[in-house]
Structure 1
Amino acid sequence: MRLNHYKDLLKLGFPIIVGQLGTIILGFADTLMIGHHTMPELAAASFVNALFSLIFVISLGFTNGLTPIIGGHYGRGESASIALVLKNAIAVCGLLAAVLFSVMTVVYFCLGHLGQPESLLPLMRPYFLIQLVSLPFVVAFNMMKQFSDGMLRTQTGMWIVLAGNLLNILGNWLLIYGHWGLPEMGLTGAGLSTLFSRVLMALFFMGVLGWGSHYKEVRSHLKSVRVERKEMRRITALGVPLALQIGMETSAFQLSSIIVGWIGVSALAANQIVMVASQFCYFISLGMAVAVSIRVSLYYGQGDYQGVRANVRAGLVLVFILLAITGSVVWTVRWKLGGWFTTGGDVTRLVALTVIPLLVYQVSDGVQNTFANTLRGLSHVKVLVPVAFLAYFVVTLPLCYVFGITLGGGLVGIWWAFFFGLSIAAVLFVREYLKVMKRVGQGLKSESRE
């Protein structure tokens, strides 16, 4: 029975991991190919991608709330309820896209006041606008992927993401460097290629949901269900805390890019490269943690609390194994990472040194990821927000400034600050999980006495 938990989690989690990695592979392809074009373009892409990564992760966090809702209905064979959730999710995510679009439009007009090198602004502005146009398509794709994952069709998102990555890489080769008679567009070409791939990914997923046989029964109920405030509030009540929690965690990383920009262009370029390695490790653990949340929601809905505990233990073991593998890979190539993206010797040295704190905090990150998603599967999400605020805004960001600027630790000092914030989050999430399971156990004892 114990081995079944590992098998089920791997079967569910592997496609999710691939899908999550696809999110950063699009950025990775841009970074790699831009870095070999010019160093200023790499620095400009670093800053813009840092800002948009936060927004994209917030949308991912919000839509993650759909998966356990859909999963619960799917397990009970409630196709009409799934259709109701889908129609209301479209409405809610449409509003989310509008809000995020408006926020980033304001940020665009503030680019010149964020303390970045003046020489990079002409490169940042067009690239920023292209990323802005792609934002609604990213939100739409995330919503459809979480809907499909909730119906245990995790392979669908995986294949669409892989196809999108191939299109993006081909587009980069054509537009950044100007092959096949096309103009050499540099950073702007990379942005256009990413936009094109994101639009096609969203449209293709829409086609799968619209014509795929697995979703036929759900589609048959779409006309009979309506957008309801109650259902929208239900989706929002679960999605907002998840978006805030993952958003605050990610913002601690991305907002630190502003502090990195005060150090210099080389530090900013190195930070972007280390960020790619960080996201590589993070999204692998997040993918397995999402699988844990889906399985937890199924067991919790059935009242199988021993299954919940066994699933969490198995998930934590798998997360540690995956992080050990990815950490070993990153450590092995730490002196080569910088050279893959740029020819600058200073950047290569900075990347190799900054990998050390990155790998040290992986244990804390794996624990907090697993238990945050466990609480999500238990529908116990309100506590995520205050814990995230304390760990990332009260602790991590101030320490980034102290370690990086005040104490002169530079980029390496900034990345050491994350160890403390992630460790605090890990301890508090584990503590909350134990409290929830203790209350569940006490409730079972009370029922048995009655």
Structure 2
Amino acid sequence: MFSPQAQTPPARLSVAAHVRALLALGLPLVGSNLAQMALHVTDTMMLGRYGVAELAAAVLASGLFFILFILGSGFSYAVMGQIAAALGAGDETQVRRDARMALWLSILFGLAVMPVLAFSGPLLRLLGQAPGTAALAQDYLRVAMWGMVPALIIAVLRAYLSAQLRTQMVMWVTLVGVGLNAALNWALIFGHWGAPEMGLRGAALASVVVQIVTAVLLMIYAAWLPDLRRFHLFQRFWRPDWEAFRAVFRVGMPIGLTALFETGMFQASAVMMGWIGTEQLAAHGIALELASIVFMVHMGLSNAATVQVGRARGARDFARLRVGAAVAQLLSFLFALLSVGLFLGAPQLLIGPFLDGSKPEALAILGFATRLLAVAALFQLFDSTQVMAMGLLRGVQDTRVPMWVAGACYWLIGIPAGYVLAFVLGLGGVGLWLGLACGLVCAATILTLRFWRGPWLHAA
């Protein structure tokens, strides 16, 4: 296991040394991301065996929850780069200021969006979903909404600890949450071990409990670890710091909107897939779950790149910044090639665990999800490239222009292309996913060029 204490390499070390340093930071983040994804995979697999209607409702409900969560998590991504830069510059006071105000912003945002989740049924019906599916989704969200604030706190603490090169604890705490979630799902969804059979609401309650437990564990670790006590993260937490508040907001809100544009593109595709049929929507949810698992690897490497680039920028070590960025992009590209082979070579092996083969609709869902995975293999290279470019740009705190690029590529190219291919040209769900690929190609190209042509690669 790579040590979380591995330090950023000097600029003149070999490429291999940069690779080792990135992996020392990035592999635990990848593990944490995969563990976090396992929470959603567990929900999907168990609800898929409980009922197709419940699975379809969970796809919609978790999609809406995630859209709002990803908007609020922009503050955590912002503070990751800001803390890394402050540490690189040796400014420990700024570390505390930025982290606290990121927590403030996340808590306020979480409280603000809870009413949207509580009364989501009319919104989902307005988007063309069946009344029964919308009602089930609202039932789920009225329980799940209590996990929004803890989930956003987790995101900020994860960023804080990552910038401190303390990524292994984040991974282990998340793994504990995976085991707890699986046990609670088994008990509360199906009514095992003497628990009531709660179905969809049981899955939501399990998620809330896991989020609260995870947030408490990370708070304890961040507050009491001897090496981190000097930052006094929670001391006089109630005192505002409006300068840092505004600074985190200015960087974080564009990041949240950028992530919202991409996530919203995929969730809009779920809405349009629901127009095609319930079985197609269930297949979409499974295929998207698998694609998201792979995406979590790239996101972990991207987060590590944000920290490495931020530290190099804070120390004004531009040679280290350039080499570290190139190494991060290369590693992400190599893993993308592996995932392409897996999606094309073993789709049924990947999809099978999500379905109960004894149910009559399972075969149709399997066939449709297999075709979607073939398209997902096509856009893996571009999805990995765009998320890495985003991570590098966040490391240099360039967030506003990437926001507009993402909005244009995903919503002016990706969604219209998907609609035309699916409904005008009659390609159905496969055409819808091909349209998403067009948006990712656009974003990957422009964002990569922006980073490598930016002024942050050289001393002023």
TM norm structure 1: 0.93
| Distance verdict in 2 for CA 1:175–1:106, change over 3 Å | closer
Residues 48 and 128 in structure 1, CA contact (< 8 A), matched pair in contact too: yes
Question: Whole-Å Cα distance in 2 between the matches of residues 220 and 153 of structure 1?
Answer: 15
The structure with the largest helix share of the pair is: 1
Question: Whole-Å Cα distance in 2 between the matches of residues 57 and 368 of structure 1?
Answer: 17
Question: Whole-Å Cα distance in 1 between the matches of residues 256 and 60 of structure 2?
Answer: 22
Larger deviation, residues 349-358 vs 339-348:
339-348
| Distance verdict in 2 for CA 1:74–1:301, change over 3 Å | closer
Larger deviation, residues 211-220 vs 288-297:
211-220
Instruction: State the match for 1:379 in structure 2.
Output: 397
* Matched letter for residue 364 of structure 1: F
Unpaired runs of at least 5, structure 2? 1-13
- Other structure's SS at 1:184 match: coil
Residues 73 and 79 in structure 1, CA contact (< 8 A), matched pair in contact too: yes
Instruction: State the match for 2:320 in structure 1.
Output: 307
* Cα shift readout 1:205-227 (whole Å, capped 9, x = no counterpart): 12212222232111189349942
Residues 59 and 285 in structure 2, CA contact (< 8 A), matched pair in contact too: yes
Question: Whole-Å Cα distance in 2 between the matches of residues 50 and 273 of structure 1?
Answer: 13
Question: Whole-Å Cα distance in 1 between the matches of residues 175 and 338 of structure 2?
Answer: 22
Question: Whole-Å Cα distance in 1 between the matches of residues 112 and 381 of structure 2?
Answer: 34
Q: CA deviation at 1:360?
A: 0.7
Instruction: State the match for 2:46 in structure 1.
Output: 33
* Matched letter for residue 81 of structure 1: Q
Q: 1:168 aligns with which of 176, 181, 198?
A: 181
Is residue 361 of structure 1 aligned with residue 390 of structure 2? no
Instruction: State the match for 2:221 in structure 1.
Output: 208
Residues 83 and 222 in structure 1, CA contact (< 8 A), matched pair in contact too: no
Larger deviation, residues 345-354 vs 203-212:
203-212
| Distance verdict in 2 for CA 1:403–1:221, change over 3 Å | closer
Residues 337 and 348 in structure 1, CA contact (< 8 A), matched pair in contact too: no
Residues 274 and 281 in structure 2, CA contact (< 8 A), matched pair in contact too: yes
Alignment of structure 1 residues 20-419 onto 2, 5 Å = 20-105=33-118, 107-219=120-232, 222-223=235-236, 226-342=239-355, 343=357, 344-419=362-437
Q: 2:453 aligns with which of 421, 430, 435?
A: 435
Residues 84 and 226 in structure 1, CA contact (< 8 A), matched pair in contact too: no
Q: CA deviation at 1:329?
A: 3.0
Residues 87 and 226 in structure 1, CA contact (< 8 A), matched pair in contact too: no
Question: Whole-Å Cα distance in 2 between the matches of residues 39 and 177 of structure 1?
Answer: 15
Residues 61 and 247 in structure 1, CA contact (< 8 A), matched pair in contact too: no
Larger deviation, residues 63-72 vs 207-216:
207-216
* Cα shift readout 1:229-281 (whole Å, capped 9, x = no counterpart): 21111111111111111110111001111100100000110010011011112
* Matched letter for residue 93 of structure 2: A
Unpaired runs of at least 5, structure 1? 445-450
* Matched letter for residue 403 of structure 1: L
TM norm structure 2: 0.91
Supply the RMSD in Å over aligned alpha carbons: 1.9
- Other structure's SS at 1:222 match: coil
* Matched letter for residue 376 of structure 1: R
Residues 245 and 384 in structure 1, CA contact (< 8 A), matched pair in contact too: yes
Question: Whole-Å Cα distance in 2 between the matches of residues 423 and 220 of structure 1?
Answer: 41
Question: Whole-Å Cα distance in 2 between the matches of residues 63 and 168 of structure 1?
Answer: 24
| Distance verdict in 2 for CA 1:107–1:178, change over 3 Å | closer
* Matched letter for residue 428 of structure 2: G
Residues 343 and 376 in structure 2, CA contact (< 8 A), matched pair in contact too: no
Instruction: State the match for 2:3 in structure 1.
Output: none
Q: CA deviation at 1:76?
A: 4.0
* Cα shift readout 1:161-181 (whole Å, capped 9, x = no counterpart): 110011000111111121112
Q: CA deviation at 1:400?
A: 1.7
Question: Whole-Å Cα distance in 1 between the matches of residues 86 and 316 of structure 2?
Answer: 15
Residues 352 and 366 in structure 2, CA contact (< 8 A), matched pair in contact too: yes
Question: Whole-Å Cα distance in 2 between the matches of residues 120 and 338 of structure 1?
Answer: 23
Number of residues paired by the alignment? 442
Q: CA deviation at 1:102?
A: 4.0
* Matched letter for residue 96 of structure 2: A
| Distance verdict in 2 for CA 1:276–1:338, change over 3 Å | same
* Cα shift readout 1:63-112 (whole Å, capped 9, x = no counterpart): 11111211222334433322222322222222221233244345344233
Residues 157 and 219 in structure 2, CA contact (< 8 A), matched pair in contact too: yes
Question: Whole-Å Cα distance in 2 between the matches of residues 173 and 394 of structure 1?
Answer: 42
